[in-house]
Amino acid sequence: MAATQREHYRAFCRREPGVRPPDMDNGPLMSAYERWLEEGLNPDLDPRRFDEWCDVFGLDRYYCCVGVGVSKPPLFQEEILEETETTVTRRQTDGSVIQDNKGWHKSIPHEVRPAVTSRGEWERLKEWLDVDGPLPPPDDPAVVPVLAQAHSATVPVRLGVGSLLGTPRNWLGFEPFAMLPYDDPGWFEDLIETQCRAAERQIRYFGEQQVLLDCLHFWEDICFKNGPIISPDIFREFALPRYRRVADLAESYGYDQISVDSDGDIHALLPLWLEGGVNLLWPLEAQAGMDVNLLQARYPGQAVWMGNIHKHRLTGGEEAIATELERVRPAVERGGYIPTLDHCCPGDVSFDNYLSYLRLRHEILGLGRRCPDRSEVCR
């Protein structure tokens, strides 16, 4: 039997027989946390201290997330441009201007101006990024604790390698990004190549320090409920070769798991991600039509799947929660699936329903070491 959570995670991902899925799951959005405080949650339990939260609620701790950066002045000084009773408009360090709601009830900020509106602005940002420049040496005071944590972790260690497409989408804005491969394919390629080299730099850094990594992680979010922002043909031409480059480099250091996080309906891009070496995909957003049972049947043994429990089903009481967990139980039994909510728990879920979810998760899926009694987690 695996001695640590990290060893157990590795054994599960290798599909060793008899190894249960990791017990990881997402916590609440801050809007849910605020509601739960009103419904009796002990304020000493704070999901922003997520390791403690997981310990109390009987879940495995999350990944130990690592990465190394270069300390330098920001491209722009962050400043507040306008403030109302409910919103704040600020310029961010990359030059973008956003309007955000105040307080915990935040949504995705409204973009007033993207960071990049011209080729010249991109060249300035690229020079600042300096992805071919050296990272700090391993004895740098800022790096020493990162490497020490990665070497000693008892939970899975995940290296964030950035985003080939999602971050450029943020820099340019949705429509300019979607149109760029047609309007200026050379610039589009430069964006993705820059991001690819940034990922390769991180992998080489940790590989050369002989750090054992359990997962290399891309954040993308380039799909929505009707499919991807860019076509599979564009993805195949510009992104696929670079995913393959990253996967080959990772393999040279013994790193064998590459994950991608993209919301929405990812069906059109999924076979290309798999071809590029990606072998863990999440959150498999249920309301966008993703179904882990169908994915397992269509791509047997090709990936570890994570997520897919419909977060909004937790609003419907025990029967609705049990029905949703029964839906994914066959996928758990087939193996290669880590069942979690497909996002953080939303604010329309009561605290009692969250506790019911944890209990039923244990009873139906056999996960969760224990669900605490309400008296243990309420003031």
Considering only residues 158 and 111, tell me which one the structure prediction assigns the higher pLDDT: 158
- What is the C-alpha separation between 297 and 171, in angstroms, rounded? 37
Backbone angles phi, psi at 3, to 5 degrees: -85, -30
Nearest to 158 by CA among 55, 266, 305, 10: 10
pLDDT higher than 80, residue 79 = yes
- Tell whether the model's pLDDT for residue 132 goes beyond 60: yes
Q: For 55-59, what is the mean pLDDT? A: 94
Task: Work out the average pLDDT over 266-280.
Answer: 98
Residue 346 DSSP SS3: coil
pTM given for the model: 0.94
Return the pLDDT at 371. 81
Residue 40 above 70 pLDDT?
Answer: yes
Partners of 258 in the beta sheet? Answer: 216
Cα–Cα distance measured from residue 107 to residue 30, given in angstroms and rounded to the nearest whole number? 11
pLDDT, tens digit, for every residue of 337-377?
A: 999 999 999 999 999 999 999 999 999 999 977 788 888 99
pLDDT of residue 369: 76
Range in 16-25, 31-40, 82-91, 100-109 with the lowest mean pLDDT: 100-109
pLDDT for res 106: 57
pLDDT of residue 104: 57
CA 152 – CA 211 distance, rounded (Å): 10
Residue 67 has a pLDDT of 97
With DSSP H G I counted as helix, E B as strand and the rest as coil, what are the percentages for the chain, rounded to 5?
A: 45, 15, 40
The ranges of the chain annotated as CATH 3.20.20.210 are 66-70+130-254+262-277
**DSSP single-letter state for residue 107:** -
Q: What is the mean pLDDT of the chain?
A: 95
pLDDT tens, residue by residue, 7-39: 999 999 999 999 999 999 999 999 999 999 999
Is CATH 2.60.40.1120 the classification given to domain 66-70+130-254+262-277? Answer: no
Return the closest-CA partner of residue 12 out of 361, 341, 335.
Answer: 335
d(CA 322, CA 324): 5
Mean pLDDT score, 283-292: 97
Q: Taking the chain, what is the end-to-end CA distance rounded to the nearest angstrom?
A: 37
For the residues 197-203, what does the mean pLDDT come to?
98
